[in-house]
């Protein structure tokens, strides 16, 4: 990277992010839960009625639980250890999401093991003999499906669509029946606390200042645009989505609203596999091929996914500005036709260097081709008299290619004690061009205009982390990290006459930006649990940022800055099924490429967008109080939160001084924002095969900033209002492999500094049929089938008024097919570490382009 600063730093740190695991899943080797086989919020194991005076030893029993077809793990299966003499359970645990289980401190003797899970026949393993000091590995244990549904079956051990863990909420997307054939934005729309608009811009509890990771790793395409990145990730490959509202000190300090971590599916199967996923619909089609090979110490994955989509919309714009004492009214309409082609390809390796050491590496390539054709008709009125009518046909091209290369090393010294080194290089090339034909009323060409804007965004990250348990209820974790970033943008305009020939020397307006950012960081974290069921997670992170930037005229002076960001998480187990949590953290938000890019984007000359390379980071303080509880067959979570942001990076619109009736939108550090509200969501089993889940988000949003008045003097302005949104989803498992899912969601009015964006709703209905061998499925889904959407945005100031209306015709019906090929056996997937960069603000487009 050009002009990169050498980063030399050393931190002496002490802390923790996770409590050392007790043998057997709880204190004294006893799992904890609600006494009815229900997992307590936070992911604890269920409670068994155990023999209180059972002897303890130093042996261990391990194994894997898989279904009889050996195609997947049986997650969260219940394992009970039964004394063969007394016939009473003396220990127990729950299999993890890979099907693995472990019971520690087992005394010598003879036992039986009983394994149960909803939908499967019980498995009893007799004649288990433990010798003193010797461990027992049961290997792979197969459960066969129970085709008879009993009314009294307890379903609470089944993995839910929505789960809450110690520090995050998890949406298990692999259980979503209607998302296949879509992309990541279709998944995120259904996740509690998240809101996604039609362009794919994501907000968390009303804040768009978030960080999105893919498998705990960043990508420069995400830093450039979250919406673009989501379109590259197929819904079929997403295993789960994690929403982290109060990140610990281990995470980068950026992402003031929180972190979204998208976990993709990975193979843990020995042998050769191939998955085929395809779909065809009215608005899009997709094809994906993913293969994996695992033999001995080596694992290889290779995959590719492509998706084409097509849509149309109608856009209407009414705006008025005051220029030189006259009122100029703009009335504009356009029909838009969108075509996109997205792809994502990956090659990955993992290798066991030794019993306690592993190395992983991967290369990911993403491509994006988005083309929009619009035909504008613009009428300009000066003091209520029609002054001109303009016709403009515009082809906009938004193209990008991204490459991510990572290599990670991890060494395990003993259970819970690890050291890792992670590296990542990520680079993106982006092209944002448009070609415009200006036509006469008769349709003949009068002139042409072209905007050429090429961007690159590169990032190199190196980090090392160390974690070590202290006793049974403490853990220490610390690490250091260096990030080198470079952003470049080069733009120019070309103009041609009626002949359509461009003059290569015409470059006005034109410019460039070279922006280098270097970050040195270190963190410490400490966690401990008390005997009265309090858990404290305390941490702090220090980050030092230096910036070296220049444009075509001069050096951009942005002073270096440092930030110390604390985090505190406290939880209290009120009962076996209820947990109360209190959290505080400070976050920072650095500007991203779309905010920095000085390109003068005039694809629509009445609504111009331009970035600001002088932006400074914003600071946010977050406080959250939550209660999670489960009773009978219902799980409920209630959260209260407050967020305060200073020096906020905010979109600001103002009239153009030179272009009649035009409005220019840019980004400024102009004010503060406060949000206070609540989230409520729950999941209930209406029957053993029918679930209903949903939630409501309500918060009060207040924004304050500066804008010019009629005299050209800056004055303080503010805007506020309540924002409400929600979602409801139901799944029904029918006999013979059939499944049904329905979803409906609504996002209320969005408060902006200069106005509002009205709410929108989405809904879907889908069916899926699993093949008898569970190796494939066929699905049919429909979205918004009663009609399209109407999105209205209104902006107001003393100098202008603007209202834009987008009519989106996004009704869709899609047919999907997936199939798995290969004969595999189950093995444990090696634990890996990866780079997490959580610190760059991604731009979200609003309004009319």
- Residue 808: pLDDT over 50: yes
Q: Does the bond joining 509 to the residue before it have cis omega, within 30 degrees of 0?
A: yes
- Residue 661 is classified by DSSP as T
Residue 156 confidence (pLDDT): 37
Say how far apart CA 286 and CA 696 lie, in whole Å.
Answer: 33
In the beta sheet, which residues pair with residue 460? 425, 484
- Residue 416: pLDDT over 80: no
pLDDT band at 160 (very low <50, low <70, confident <90, very high): low
Q: How far is CA 235 from the centre of its chain?
A: 12
Residue 508 confidence (pLDDT): 57
Contact between 170 and 163 under an 8 Å Cβ cutoff? The reply is yes
Residue 720 confidence (pLDDT): 94
Element (H, E) at 544: strand 534-551
pLDDT band at 671 (very low <50, low <70, confident <90, very high): confident
- Residue 246 is classified by DSSP as S
pLDDT band at 838 (very low <50, low <70, confident <90, very high): low
Residue 32 confidence (pLDDT): 35
Residue 337 confidence (pLDDT): 93
Residue 137 confidence (pLDDT): 87
pLDDT (average), residues 631-658? 89
pLDDT band at 146 (very low <50, low <70, confident <90, very high): low
Contact between 584 and 565 under an 8 Å Cβ cutoff? The reply is no
- Residue 287: pLDDT over 50: yes
pLDDT (average), residues 557-584? 89
pLDDT band at 164 (very low <50, low <70, confident <90, very high): low
* Residue recorded with tokens 């362009």: 199
Residue 500 confidence (pLDDT): 62
- Residue 348: pLDDT over 70: yes
Q: What is the pLDDT of residues 715-759, one digit of tens each?
A: 889 999 999 999 898 888 888 889 898 989 888 898 999 999 998
Q: What is the pLDDT of residues 295-304, one digit of tens each?
A: 778 888 888 8
Enter the pTM of the model: 0.71
Residue 38 confidence (pLDDT): 33
pLDDT band at 147 (very low <50, low <70, confident <90, very high): very low
Residue 577 confidence (pLDDT): 80
pLDDT (average), residues 364-378? 93
Contact between 73 and 148 under an 8 Å Cβ cutoff? The reply is no
pLDDT (average), residues 767-788? 84
Contact between 304 and 286 under an 8 Å Cβ cutoff? The reply is no
Of the listed ranges 32-36, 223-227, 534-538, 807-811, the least confidently predicted one is 32-36
Calculate the alpha carbon distances from 705 to 379, 649, 716, 720 in Å.
Answer: 32, 10, 6, 12
In the beta sheet, which residues pair with residue 351? 298, 359
pLDDT (average), residues 514-543? 92
Contacts of residue 210, Cβ cutoff 8 Å, sequence gap at least 6: 202, 203, 204, 226, 255, 256, 257, 258, 259, 260, 842
Residue 426 confidence (pLDDT): 93
- If one compares 71 and 681, the residue with the highest pLDDT of the two is 681
- Residue 795: pLDDT over 80: yes
- Residue 369: pLDDT over 80: yes
Say how far apart CA 500 and CA 449 lie, in whole Å.
Answer: 9
φ/ψ (deg, to 5) at 264: -95, 160
% residues pLDDT > 70 (the chain)? 80
- Residue 425: pLDDT over 60: yes
Contact between 213 and 259 under an 8 Å Cβ cutoff? The reply is yes
Residue 608 confidence (pLDDT): 92
Contacts of residue 354, Cβ cutoff 8 Å, sequence gap at least 6: none
Average pLDDT value over all residues in the chain: 80
pLDDT band at 39 (very low <50, low <70, confident <90, very high): very low
How many other CB atoms are there within 10 angstroms of residue 659's CB atom? 16
Residue 485 confidence (pLDDT): 94
Residue 30 confidence (pLDDT): 35
Q: What is the pLDDT of residues 72-112, one digit of tens each?
A: 677 778 898 998 888 888 888 888 767 788 888 888 889 99
Q: What is the pLDDT of residues 453-511, one digit of tens each?
A: 999 999 999 999 999 988 878 889 999 999 999 999 998 888 887 776 666 544 556 78
Say how far apart CA 361 and CA 363 lie, in whole Å.
Answer: 7
């Amino acid at each position: 990277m050009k002009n990169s600063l050498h980063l030399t730093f050393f931190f002496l740190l002490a802390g923790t992010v996770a409590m050392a695991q007790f043998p057997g899943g709880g204190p004294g080797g006893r799992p904890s839960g609600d006494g009815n086989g229900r997992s307590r919020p936070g992911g604890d194991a269920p409670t068994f009625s155990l023999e209180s005076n059972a002897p303890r030893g130093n042996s261990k029993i391990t194994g894997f639980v898989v279904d009889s077809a050996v195609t997947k793990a049986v997650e969260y299966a219940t394992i009970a250890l039964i004394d063969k003499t007394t016939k009473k359970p003396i220990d127990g645990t729950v299999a993890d999401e890979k099907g693995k289980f472990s019971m520690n401190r087992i005394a010598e003797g003879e036992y039986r093991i009983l394994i149960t899970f909803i939908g499967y026949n019980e498995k009893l393993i007799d004649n288990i003999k433990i010798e003193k000091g010797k461990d027992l590995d049961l290997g792979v244990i197969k459960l066969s499906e129970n085709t008879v549904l009993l009314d009294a079956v307890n379903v609470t051990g089944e993995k839910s669509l929505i789960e809450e863990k110690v520090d995050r909420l998890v949406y298990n997307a692999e259980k979503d029946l209607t998302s296949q054939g879509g992309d990541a934005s279709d998944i995120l729309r259904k996740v509690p606390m998240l809101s996604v608009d039609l362009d794919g811009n994501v907000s968390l509890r009303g804040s768009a200042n978030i960080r999105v990771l893919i498998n705990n790793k960043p990508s420069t395409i995400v830093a450039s645009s979250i919406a673009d990145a989501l379109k590259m990730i197929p819904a079929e490959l997403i295993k789960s989505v994690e929403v982290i509202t109060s990140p610990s000190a281990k995470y980068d300090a950026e992402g003031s609203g929180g972190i979204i971590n998208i976990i993709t599916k990975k193979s843990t199967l020995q042998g050769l596999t191939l998955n085929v996923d395809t779909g065809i619909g009215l608005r899009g089609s997709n094809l994906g091929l993913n293969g994996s090979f695992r033999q001995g110490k080596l694992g290889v994955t290779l995959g590719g996914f492509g998706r084409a989509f097509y849509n149309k919309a109608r856009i209407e714009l009414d705006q008025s500005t005051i220029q030189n004492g006259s009122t100029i009214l703009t009335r504009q309409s356009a029909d838009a036709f969108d075509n996109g082609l997205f792809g994502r390809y990956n090659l990955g390796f993992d290798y066991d260097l030794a019993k306690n050491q592993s190395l992983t590496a991967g290369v990911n390539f993403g491509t994006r081709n988005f083309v929009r054709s619009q035909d504008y008709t613009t009428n300009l009125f000066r003091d209520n008299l029609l002054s001109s009518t303009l016709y403009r046909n515009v082809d906009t091209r938004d193209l990008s290619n991204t490459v991510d290369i990572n290599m990670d090393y991890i060494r395990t010294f003993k259970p819970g004690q690890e050291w890792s080194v992670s590296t990542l290089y990520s680079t993106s090339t982006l092209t944002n061009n448009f070609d415009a034909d200006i036509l006469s009323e008769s349709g003949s060409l009068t002139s042409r205009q072209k905007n050429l804007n090429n961007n690159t965004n590169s990032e190199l990250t190196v980090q090392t982390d160390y974690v070590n348990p202290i006793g049974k209820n403490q853990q220490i974790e610390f690490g250091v990290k260096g990030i080198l970033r470079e952003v470049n943008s080069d733009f120019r305009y070309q103009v041609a006459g009626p002949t359509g020939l461009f003059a290569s020397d015409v470059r006005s307006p034109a410019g460039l930006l070279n922006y280098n950012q270097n970050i040195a960081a270190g963190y410490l974290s400490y966690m401990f649990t008390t005997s009265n069921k309090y858990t404290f997670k305390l941490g702090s992170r220090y980050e030092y940022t230096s910036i070296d930037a220049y444009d075509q005229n001069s050096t951009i002076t942005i002073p270096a800055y440092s930030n110390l960001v604390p985090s505190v998480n406290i939880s209290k187990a009120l009962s076996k099924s209820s947990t109360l949590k209190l959290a505080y953290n400070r976050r920072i938000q650095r500007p991203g490429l779309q905010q920095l890019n000085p390109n003068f984007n005039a694809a629509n000359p009445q609504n111009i967008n331009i970035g600001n390379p002088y932006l400074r980071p914003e600071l946010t303080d977050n406080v959250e109080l939550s209660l999670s509880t489960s009773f009978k067959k219902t799980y409920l979570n209630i959260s209260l939160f407050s967020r305060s942001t200073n020096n906020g990076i905010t979109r600001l619109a103002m009239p153009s001084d030179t272009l009649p009736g035009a409005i220019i939108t840019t980004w400024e550090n102009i004010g503060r924002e406060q949000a206070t509200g609540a989230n409520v969501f729950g999941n209930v089993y209406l029957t053993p095969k029918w679930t209903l889940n949903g939630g409501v988000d309500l918060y009060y949003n207040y924004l304050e900033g500066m804008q010019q008045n009629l005299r050209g003097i800056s004055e303080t302005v503010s805007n506020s209002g309540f924002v409400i949104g929600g979602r409801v989803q139901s799944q029904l498992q029918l006999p013979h492999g059939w499944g049904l899912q329905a979803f409906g969601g609504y996002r209320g009015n969005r408060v902006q500094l200069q106005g509002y964006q009205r709410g929108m709703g989405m809904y879907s209905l889908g069916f899926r049929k699993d093949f008898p061998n569970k190796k494939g499925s066929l699905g049919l889904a429909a979205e918004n089938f009663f009609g399209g959407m109407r999105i209205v945005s209104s902006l107001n100031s003393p100098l202008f008024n603007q209202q834009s209306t987008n009519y989106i015709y996004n009704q869709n019906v899609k047919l999907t097919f997936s199939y798995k090929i290969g004969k595999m056996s189950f093995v444990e997937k090696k634990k890996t570490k990866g780079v997490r960069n959580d610190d760059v603000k991604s731009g979200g487009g609003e309004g009319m382009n």
